[in-house]
Chains A and B, each alone.
Chain A
C-alpha cells in the first residue's frame, strides 16, 4: 500500500489525495441523489395510492419508465440528449458548465430520479400494507387528505419499509460509479486513473475495493441505528401487543 504515499505525476500531491477526492465525489453524489430520491420517491409513492384523479396513473408511468431503462442509458440521456432538446441558449449553458459540475449535475439529477422510482414502489407497498382502519379512523377524526398522509399514514409506512430502504441506501453508493461514464472522477474512476499512471493494478483497485466495503459497512450501521431509534414499542419483535 506504499503506492498511496507516492507523489502523483502532476506533482501536486500524493495518490492518497486522489482517493480522497474520488471518495468526496462518490459521497456527495450519493447523499445528494438520496435526498432528491426520498422527496420525489415519497411524492410519487403517495400519488400512486390516491383513490382517484390522474395522479395514480402518472405515478405508475413514472415508475415504469425509470425502472425499465438501464441507469447508464438514463445517464446518457441527461448528459448528452437533454441539452439538445432544450432551447439553444439553455442547452449551451448546460454544456458549458465547468468541470466537474458539467458531469456532476446531470449525474445528480439522473441518480436521484432513478432511485426515486424504486423508493416510490416501496413507499406505495408500505402505504398499502397499512390496515384500512387507519384511513377510516383518520377521516373520523377530521383529518384532511394531506394531514392524514403526513401525520398518520407516512410515519407508519416508513417504519414498515425501513429494512428495504436500507438496501436501497447501500445501492445508491454503488450506483454512483456509473457517473464515471460521463466524466465524473469518483472512486472507481480514480482507481482506473491510478492504474493507468502506475500499472500497479492490485494496489489501485484493492484500495478502492476496501473503501467501498467501508462505505457499505458504515451505511448499514447508520440505517440500522435509525431503524432502532424509529422503532415503536408495539412493533418491536417479542413485545406483547397492547
Chain B
C-alpha cells in the first residue's frame, strides 16, 4: 500500500475548515460549560436541598450516559423544544451546529461542575467565614473571593478536561457534521483515500493535543502558590 501525499495536500484546505469548526465547538463548549458548570457547582453547595438535589441529579445523569447518546437526545429534542417555545405547535428544523453547541455545553457542564466544586472544597473554610464577617453578599463573596481561588486551584484539571473536550468533538461524526474528522471522512469516501485521510487527522489531533498537554504540565508548576 502506498500513501499518496498529493491527495493529502489537496485535501488540506478542506481539513483546515473542518478543524476551524472543531475549534469553534471547543470554544463554545469550554465557555458555556464553565459558566453553566460553575452555576451547577454553586447550586450543589447550597444548603437548600431543593436547589442542591436537582443539581446533583443533573451531574450524575450526565456523567452516567455516553456523549453520543446525549448528541442523539439533543438532536431530536431541540427541534421539539424550539417548537414548544415559539408556540408553533410542531418541531422546528434547526442546523447541526446549534444542536452540537447545545450538546457540548449541557454535557461538559456536568464535568466542569465537578471540577469547580472540587475547587470550592479546596478553599479553606476560613475564607467563607471571612466573607460573612466582612458583610459581603453571597453573590459578591462568590464573584470576588471564592470563585477566583477555586478556579486557580483546579486550573490544570480544567485545562486537561478541555483537551478531553477537544478530542470528544470528533463524536459529532454520528450526526454527519463537518468537523476535522467529518471533513476527512467526506474526502476519504469521495476519493477512496481512507488510509491517507485518517492517518492525517490522527497526526493533527496528536500534535495539537500533545503540545497542549505539555503546556498544561508547564503551567502546573508555575501556577501553584509559592508557599505550598
By a beta-carbon cutoff of 8 Å, the part of chain A in contact with chain B is: 64-65, 67-74, 76-77, 80-81, 84-85, 170, 174-178, 180-181, 188, 191-192, 195, 201, 205, 208-209, 212-213, 215-217
Contacts and interface: CB of A to CB of B under 8 A. Distances in A.
Given A73-B170, A84-B194, A191 B72 contact: yes
B174 A180 contact: yes
Interface of B: 1, 61, 63-69, 72-73, 76-77, 167-168, 170-171, 173-174, 181, 194-195, 198-199, 201-202, 205-206, 209-210, 213
Contacts of A212: 64-66, 69
Contacts of A180: 68, 174
Contacts of A192: 72
A71 B209 CA distance: 13
A205 B72 contact: yes
Nearest to B76: A201
B173 A208 contact: no
A70 B173 CA distance: 12
Contacts, number: 95
Contacts of B65: 174, 209, 212-213
Q: Which 9 A-B pairs have the closest CB atoms?
A: A177-B66, A216-B64, A68-B209, A70-B167, A174-B66, A70-B170, A212-B65, A177-B68, A72-B170
A181 B202 contact: no
B205 A77 contact: no
Contacts of A80: 194-195, 198
Contacts of B206: 65, 68-69
Contacts of A208: 69
23 contacts: A64-B210, A65-B206, A67-B213, A68-B213, A70-B168, A70-B205, A72-B171, A73-B181, A73-B198, A73-B201, A80-B198, A81-B199, A85-B1, A85-B195, A174-B65, A174-B66, A181-B174, A188-B66, A188-B68, A188-B69, A201-B77, A205-B72, A212-B69
B1 A72 contact: no
Main secondary structure of the interface of A (DSSP, over half): helix
A171 to B, nearest CB: 9
Contact of A81 (B174, B195, B209): B195
A73 B61 contact: no
Nearest to A206: B73
A177 B1 contact: no
Contacts of B194: 80-81, 84
- Give the one of A188, A212, A215, A217 with max B CB within 10 A: A188
A81 B198 contact: yes
Contacts of B63: 216
B86 to A, nearest CB: 20
